[in-house]
Amino acid sequence: MEKRIAVLPGDGIGKEITQGAVEVLQTIGERFGHQFNFSYGKIGGGAVDEVGTPLPDETLELCKNSDAVLLGAVGGPKWDNLPVHLRPEKGLLKIRKELGLFANLRPTTYFESLAESAPLKKHVIEGVDLLMVRELTGGIYFGRPSERFEKDGQEAVVDTLAYTKEEMVRVIRLAFELARNRSKKVTSVDKANVLESSRMWRETAEEIAKDYPDVELNHMLVDNAAMQLIRYPKQFDVIVTENMFGDILSDEASMLTGSLGMLPSASLSENGPYLYEPIHGSAPDIAGQNIANPLATILSAAMLLRLSFGLEKEASIVENAVQSVLNQGYRTKDIAAEGEAWLSTTEMVEKVKETILQA
Ligand code: IPM
Ligand code: MG
């Protein structure tokens, strides 16, 4: 198989972690006789510094001409005070919108070997296996108006939570499709007791559920969902929710595995290319020190192999390699216990590559 992969390292630790994932993909390519061609593009604060925009047109073109996109992370204190259209996050929001990446899949799986370093009790998180499906190109992130204005001589502001029916339908339908290959349970999260958009979301979920009689649908209010994720996370399988609720709940869910440094994500569109990124950020405080955890990006590369290229066996080998290095006790700094030895970013990448070659 021959495929083109666009790599957008972005800011902070983005370069180190995407480099690790690229090497892992190359190792898979060598081992299984696939050719992956990597091309690099700029995004985020670095792109603002170099070419004056967080998402240059060339980057977008590169992505559109690729079979998949692998992204590191964007942002950092250096760019926090820029006007809103130049903020690194704007590059991320724009690429999601331009590539039509309407669904963000964030799996949260339990790592036995990390249970001791997780902030929650082992019996609560043991065996957790949930998939957050977050709507990614609508809702309050993109609704207009979003601006300051003056009302009765006072400063005022408005943001808008807007959805079309079709925007709801496609992401909820995808959640049901995904649930069919899992434990056939969808929890739709909303705030239907307050928001009109949520009442329409709930209705839409009910309508779609009729096409999936084999899948069980539950509704949960977002505040309750935030609580239930901590109280009894094993009740969840697929969670589907609108953009901002999903942003918040997915960070919360990451703590069920012990570290934000472990969680991959995939963003899907109607016709591809899909985009893969770790859910953690650019960690500017540790950038360039070769101590970042590359595993979330490596696991994102595994999702890429599976979802964009249909390479299920290769994807599983990468995921098993990550499990295996963790089971052997190898850690990066963020997941090491007090006083425990840890590997640098590049050493961890080497361990994963070695394990893949032995598999
Ligand atoms: C995420 C991030 C982004 C978001 C930010 C960086 C714009 O928090 O991917 O979850 O809010 O979507
Ligand atoms: Mg977030």
The amino acid at 269: S
Match domain 119-256 to its CATH number in 3.40.718.10, 3.40.1180.10, 3.40.50.720, 3.40.50.2300. 3.40.718.10
Active-site residue flag, 49: no
Active-site residue flag, 251: yes
Active-site residue flag, 247: yes
Is 262 within 8 Å of 251 (Cβ atoms)? no
Tell whether the model's pLDDT for residue 337 goes beyond 90: no
- Order across the sheet with 103-109: list the strands: 35-40, 2-10, 68-73, 274-278, 264-268, 103-109, 129-135, 238-241, 185-190, 216-221
Which residue in 11, 90, 141, 351 is the catalytic one?
A: 141
Average pLDDT over residues 48-75: 98
CA-nearest residue for atom 2, ligand 1, is 247
27 alpha carbon – ligand 1 mean position (Å)? 30
pLDDT on residue 206: 98
251 alpha carbon – ligand 2 mean position (Å)? 6
pLDDT on residue 338: 84
248 alpha carbon – ligand 1 mean position (Å)? 9
- For ligand 1, whether the C-beta of 23 sits within 6 Å is no
pLDDT on residue 176: 98
Average pLDDT over residues 59-76: 98
Active-site residue flag, 191: yes
Which residue in 223, 232, 285, 313 is the catalytic one?
A: 223
Average pLDDT over residues 181-197: 97
- For ligand 1, whether the C-beta of 101 sits within 6 Å is no
pLDDT in tens, 4-18: 999 999 999 999 999
Where do the structural domains in the chain lie, given as residue ranges? 1-114+259-359, 119-256
pLDDT on residue 113: 84
The DSSP result for 264-286, as a single string, is: EEEEE-SS--EEEEESS---GGG
Our CA dihedral for 160, 166, 167, 172, rounded to 10 degrees, sits at: 130
Closest C-alpha to 12, from 216, 289, 322, 333: 289
Task: Please check whether the two domains, 1-114+259-359 and 119-256, share a CATH topology.
Answer: yes
Average pLDDT over residues 189-217: 98
pLDDT on residue 102: 98
Average pLDDT over residues 330-350: 94
Other Cβ atoms less than 10 A from the Cβ of 84: the count is 8
- For ligand 1, whether the C-beta of 67 sits within 6 Å is no
Active-site residue flag, 90: no
Task: Give residue 103's Cα distance to chain centre.
Answer: 10
pLDDT in tens, 154-174: 999 999 999 999 999 999 999
The three-class DSSP label of residue 341 is: coil
Please tell me the distance from the alpha carbon of residue 14 to that of residue 265, in angstroms, as a whole number.
15
Match domain 1-114+259-359 to its CATH number in 3.40.50.150, 3.40.718.10, 3.30.1330.10, 3.30.43.10. 3.40.718.10
Other Cβ atoms less than 10 A from the Cβ of 200: the count is 16
pLDDT on residue 91: 96
CA-nearest residue for atom 10, ligand 1, is 247
Structure tokens at 3: 């495929």
pLDDT in tens, 215-271: 999 999 999 999 999 999 999 999 999 999 999 999 899 889 877 788 999 999 999
pLDDT on residue 186: 98
